[in-house]
Amino acid sequence: MNGVRKFLVVGLGNPGQEYAGTRHNIGYDVVDAWAQASTARFSPDRYGDRAQITLKGRTIVLIKPNTFMNLSGKAVRYWLETEKIPLENAVVVVDELALPCGTTRLKLSGSDGGHNGLKSIQEVLGKQDYPRLRFGIGADFAKGHQIDYVLGPWNADQHEPVKLGIERSIKFLESFVLAGAATAMNQYNQ
């Protein structure tokens, strides 16, 4: 572990009421839930809303970018530089079609998998190796309806797996901060 006791967690999503509660905004929902559980409050800042929590002597900066998904990289780079946080201490929370609804998986590198938020981050940072917590949203849509599904609200039968997935995501992120990526992956990768 590098000696830095500061972490950045970026929940990807789109700003605006019309995107609230949609599958694509699960990153926002995870950092919102973590902030609420820690009684932290988000306030508007450059390139997004920012909250800060402390966990056993470690500082965690939570960010909800307001750059829209396709420009997420600008917000990630800005907050890494502003807070002087090394990339290995940053986690991007992102929706993932390839995982069943509510499933969580931490990856330390990989392609963008067609996700515009990850694509932007990789273009801006010029690298693919950064931690991302993939939150499964399932792929229960007809051919040609992926965008409607991703930008749509959760189905009634998805509410419980999503709630449990958000709770697991917070434990996952706490483990990442306190014990490191390998331990977190051993404990919580599904």
Per-residue pLDDT of the chain (190 residues; tens, 9 = 90+): 455 699 999 999 999 999 999 999 999 999 999 999 999 999 999 999 999 999 999 999 999 999 999 999 999 999 999 999 999 999 999 999 999 999 999 999 999 999 999 999 999 999 999 999 999 999 989 999 999 999 999 999 999 999 999 999 999 999 999 999 999 999 988 7
Residue 16 per-residue DSSP state:
S
In angstroms, the CA 36 to CA 29 distance is 10
Question: How many domains does the chain contain in total?
Answer: 1
Residue 3: predicted pLDDT: 58
Considering the domain boundaries, does residue 143 fall inside one? yes
- Burial (CB < 10 A; 0-12, 13-18, 19+), residue 144, is exposed
Residues contacting 185, CB < 8 A, separation 6+: 106
Phi, psi of 21 (to 5 degrees): 75, 10
Given 24, 115, 145, 159, which residue is catalytic? 24
Task: Supply the pLDDT for residue 1.
Answer: 45
pTM: 0.96
End-to-end alpha-carbon separation of the chain, Å? Answer: 24
Query: How many Cβ atoms sit within 10 Å of the Cβ of residue 66?
Result: 17
CA distance 77 to 171: 25
In the chain, where does DSSP find H-type helix? 26-37, 72-83, 116-125, 146-150, 159-179, 181-188
Q: Any catalytic annotation for residue 24?
A: yes
Tell me the residue range of the domain where 164 lies.
Answer: 6-188
**Cβ distance 180 to 1 under 8 Å?**
yes
Residue 65 confidence (pLDDT): 97
pLDDT of residue 189: 87
Evaluate whether residue 1 is within a structural domain: no
For 146-150, the CB contacts below 8 A with 24+ separation are 146/97, 149/23, 150/22, 150/23, 150/24, 150/95, 150/97
Q: 56: domain CATH number? A: 3.40.50.1470
Is 134 strand, coil or helix? Answer: strand
The 3 state secondary structure assigned to 145-177 is: CHHHHHCCECCHHHHHHHHHHHHHHHHHHHHHH
Q: Say if 42 falls within a structural domain.
A: yes
